[in-house]
């Protein structure tokens, strides 16, 4: 008979190698979006392995939720850094992304090389309306959590009108929403004190390696000297990357412009990947023409079916842009796409590591509730309106593929409605919905 696990004693020290194996495994199984990824890490790290306590985990999560960027990846980076210093954070955050990057490069190559094959085209035909349903589901899910009063509903409606009717740039909408949130937090704080997170605190799983009362390790203590050193290294890495691309190919080159554009996009990902997708669309499709609107939708579908943060869809954007622009010549299209995808991923995620390595020591010195969340509340409300705009945009391209003057695609509408009901009403997972929709599209194309 197996002896009961003693949870009154903290587990033994975890070596860097043991942690490395876990972060690698997490990179391959981190499906389900940020909520699912955060719940998975909670189950593993707080409840089963007891590497970190409930309160320390939630304290780190609160900080990551305030940052632009993928909060689950940043949370992994934070815990890895807390356990094994800078290299621990780099390993945890990097391995959270690496499997998804490799998978997306492979899938993007199949898409670009064989996307016109009837079978592949049929699958994509079914996936497009499912993607629209996924975006609608995201709007419903985030809206139900974020829009708790008339003030926040007003911000959401204003954001939708701003981006849909007035064509305001996404960064301006974020700044205005943050300003409204800041002012609201000062003058009507009860309307903007709408907390929200992923999951809820539960009972203690027992003594943890990093427990509530565990002293902050030496490397995680805030000092201005360390802050300055990390800041110089971080900015130096970014400048070296941008400078190297500029020197090698020039400022107007595709790779350089991708690096600059996705650096800006990385700083705007408040509220998750769906919030920044309109900005990515405005730049990648409308301005730079790295890919088309239908390709953007296909990329979102691929991003939904691979592990890692959904913002990894930018890797697909990079691959297609590099392939389309043939940056290394028409006889090296795969290399063009793979390098572009890697450059885009590097500059998208670089700020996430900066925020954790720079701000982590300060956050570790404040084991209390974070203040100044009202601007985030305003941004989150605006995000709902922006996501609704994205859903309208996708629906238009799916249901009227040749424009308003063309025929209405009733078959796509049917797939989209069924997918939306499955996601919103019956809480079916994204991956089964995408797979079934793809098979339905394949069957319908075969019959028509």
Arithmetic mean of pLDDT, 246-264: 95
Residue 369's pLDDT band (cuts 50, 70, 90): very low
Place of tokens 């609107």: 293
Segment among 32-36, 49-53, 156-160, 317-321 with least mean pLDDT: 32-36
Please check the confidence at residue 4 and state whether its pLDDT lies above 60. Answer: no
Burial code (b: 16+ CB inside 10 Å, e: under 16) for 61-97 equals: bbbbbbbbbbbbbbbbbbbbbbbbbbebbbbbbbbbb
Arithmetic mean of pLDDT, 238-253: 96
Arithmetic mean of pLDDT, 228-252: 95
What distances in angstroms separate CA 407 from CA 208, 404, 412, one per listed residue? 61, 8, 12
Give the pLDDT confidence of 124-147 residue by residue, as tens digits: 788 888 878 887 887 887 788 778
- pLDDT value of residue 234: 92
Q: What CA–CA distance (Å, rounded) separates 63 from 9?
A: 28
Residue 197's pLDDT band (cuts 50, 70, 90): very low
Segment among 94-98, 148-152, 206-210, 373-377 with least mean pLDDT: 373-377
- pLDDT value of residue 261: 95
Average pLDDT value for the chain: 84
- pLDDT value of residue 372: 58
Burial class (CB in 10 A: 0-12, 13-18, 19+), 411: middle
Q: What CA–CA distance (Å, rounded) separates 212 from 217?
A: 13
What is the DSSP secondary-structure string of 100-133? HHHHHHHHHHHHHHHTTSHHHHHHHHHHHHHHHH
Q: What is the pTM of this model?
A: 0.74
What distances in angstroms separate CA 290 from CA 257, 280, 323, one per listed residue? 11, 11, 9
Give the pLDDT confidence of 338-355 residue by residue, as tens digits: 999 999 999 999 999 999
Please check the confidence at residue 430 and state whether its pLDDT lies above 80. Answer: no
More confident position, 27 or 379:
27
Is residue 409 within 8 Å of 401, Cβ to Cβ? yes
- pLDDT value of residue 1: 41
- List, in order, residues 6 or more apart from 146 with CB less than 8 Å away: 152, 156, 194, 196, 377, 380, 381, 383, 384
- pLDDT value of residue 35: 63
Tokens of 383: 């995000």
Segment among 102-111, 153-162, 256-265, 382-391 with least mean pLDDT: 382-391
Residue 194's pLDDT band (cuts 50, 70, 90): low
Q: What CA–CA distance (Å, rounded) separates 96 from 16?
A: 16
- pLDDT value of residue 362: 84
């Amino acid at each position: 008979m197996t002896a009961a696990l003693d949870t009154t004693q903290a587990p033994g020290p975890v070596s860097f190698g043991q942690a490395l194996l876990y972060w690698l495994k997490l990179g391959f199984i981190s499906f389900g979006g940020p909520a699912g990824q955060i719940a998975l890490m909670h189950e593993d790290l707080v409840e089963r392995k007891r590497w970190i306590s409930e309160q320390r985990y939630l304290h780190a999560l609160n900080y990551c939720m305030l940052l632009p960027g993928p909060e689950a990846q940043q949370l992994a980076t934070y815990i890895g850094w807390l356990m094994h210093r800078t290299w621990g954070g780099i390993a945890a955050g990097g391995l959270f992304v690496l499997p998804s990057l490799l998978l997306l490069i492979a899938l993007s190559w199949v898409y670009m090389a064989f996307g016109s094959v009837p079978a592949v085209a049929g699958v994509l035909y079914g996936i497009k309306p499912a993607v629209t349903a996924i975006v609608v589901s995201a709007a419903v899910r985030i809206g139900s959590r974020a829009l708790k009063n008339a003030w926040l509903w007003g911000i959401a409606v204003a954001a939708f009108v701003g981006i849909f009717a007035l064509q305001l740039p996404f960064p301006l909408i974020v700044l205005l929403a943050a300003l409204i949130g800041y002012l609201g937090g000062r003058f009507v704080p009860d309307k903007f004190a709408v907390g929200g997170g992923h999951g809820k605190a539960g009972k203690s799983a027992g003594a943890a390696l990093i427990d509530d009362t565990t002293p902050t390790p030496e490397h995680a203590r805030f000092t201005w000297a360390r802050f300055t050193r990390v800041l110089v290294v971080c900015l130096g890495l970014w400048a070296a990357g941008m400078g190297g691309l500029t020197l090698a190919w020039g400022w107007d080159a595709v790779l350089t412009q991708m690096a600059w554009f996705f650096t800006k996009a990385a700083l705007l990902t408040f509220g998750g990947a769906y919030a920044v997708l309109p900005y990515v669309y405005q730049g990648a499709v409308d301005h730079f023409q790295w890919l088309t609107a239908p390709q953007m939708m296909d990329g979102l579908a691929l991003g939904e079916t691979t592990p890692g943060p959904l913002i990894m869809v930018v890797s697909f954007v990079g691959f297609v842009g590099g392939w389309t622009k043939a940056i290394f010549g028409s006889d090296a299209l795969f290399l063009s796409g793979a390098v572009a995808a890697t450059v885009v991923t590097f500059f998208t995620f670089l700020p996430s590591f900066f925020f954790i390595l720079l701000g982590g020591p300060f956050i570790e010195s404040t084991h209390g509730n974070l203040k100044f969340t009202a601007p985030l509340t305003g941004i989150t409300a605006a995000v709902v309106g922006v996501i609704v705009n994205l859903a309208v945009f996708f629906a238009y391209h799916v249901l009227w593929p040749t424009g308003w003057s063309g025929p209405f695609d009733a078959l796509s509408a049917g797939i989209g409605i069924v997918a939306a009901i499955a996601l919103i009403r019956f809480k079916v997972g994204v991956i089964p919905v995408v797979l079934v929709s793809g098979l339905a599209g394949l069957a319908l194309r075969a019959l028509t």
